[in-house]
Amino acid sequence: MNHIAGLLAASGPRKLSLMEIWQQATLEAQIIIVVLMIFSVFAWSVMASKALQMQRARKLNQFFEAEFRSQASVLGIYDRKIEVEGCPLFGVYKDGCTEIDSRLKQPDGTRKPQLSLKSIEHIKRSLEGAVARESLRLESGLILLAIAVSGAPFMGLLGTVWGVMDAFGGVAKAAMMGSRPDLSFMAPGVAAALITTVAGLLVAIPSMFGYNWLVHHLRTQTVELDNFAQLLASRMETEFLKDD
C-alpha cells in the first residue's frame, strides 16, 4: 500500500519553478520583467536615500532651531560664518540673513540700526522663495516613485495580456494541426504570462508605501519651514523695523 501511495504522489501534479516559468515566458514578457526589475532597484534606492536625507534634515533642523532661539540677535549665527550642510532651516535662515545684511550694509562697512517696512517686505519674499527652494530639494526624486506606483502595474498587465494572447495563439495553432490541447498544455504559458503582473505588483506595492511615507514627512518638514520663516520674519521685524 505504501508503495502504491508513493507512486500516486510521484505521478501527481508538480508545481512549476520560477526558472521554468521564466523559460516559458515570451521574449516580450522577459523584457518587461527586466525593465520592472530595474525600476525596482531605482525605487528602493530612492526610498533609502530620501529616508536618510529626511531623517538627517529633521535632526539638523531640531539642533539648528534650538540654537537659533538661543541667540540674542537674528544675525548671531550668520556673523559667526557657520555652515550647516543638509539643513533646510539653515538654508532659509542664510537666505534671509544674506538679504537683510545687504540692506543693512552702509558704504563704510557698518550696518544701519533699522530698516523700512518696504525692505522688510522684500526680505519676507526672499524667505518665501527660500522655503519653496528647500521644499523642492526635499521633494526631488519622488517622481520616480510616483512613476513606479502608477506605471509598474500597467506594465505587468501589458506583459500578462501579451502572454495570454500568445498562449491562446499556441492553442489555436495546435488545434489547427489536429491535436487536442488541454489545460496542461495552456497552463505553463498562462503562468508565465501572469508572472509579469506579479512582478509589476512587487514593484508598485513597496513603492506606494514608501512614497506615502516620504510625502507625509515632506509635508511635515514643509510646515516646519513655513513656521520657521514666519518666526524669522517676526524676529527681524522686532529687531530692525523702524517705529512709525
Whether residue 8 lies inside any domain: the answer is: no
Whether residue 215 lies inside any domain: the answer is: yes
Whether residue 99 lies inside any domain: the answer is: yes
Query: In which domain, by residue range, is 235 found?
Result: 17-240
Domain count, the chain: 1
| pTM, full prediction | 0.76
pLDDT tens digits along 199-232:
899 999 999 999 999 999 999 999 999 999 999 9
pLDDT band at 9 (very low <50, low <70, confident <90, very high): very low
Mean pLDDT of 186-199: 76
Whether residue 103 lies inside any domain: the answer is: yes
Whether residue 105 lies inside any domain: the answer is: yes
Whether residue 54 lies inside any domain: the answer is: yes
Whether residue 151 lies inside any domain: the answer is: yes
pLDDT band at 7 (very low <50, low <70, confident <90, very high): very low
Mean pLDDT of 19-32: 72
What pLDDT is recorded for position 172?
Answer: 62
Whether residue 5 lies inside any domain: the answer is: no
Query: Which residues sit opposite 115 in a β-bridge?
Result: 241
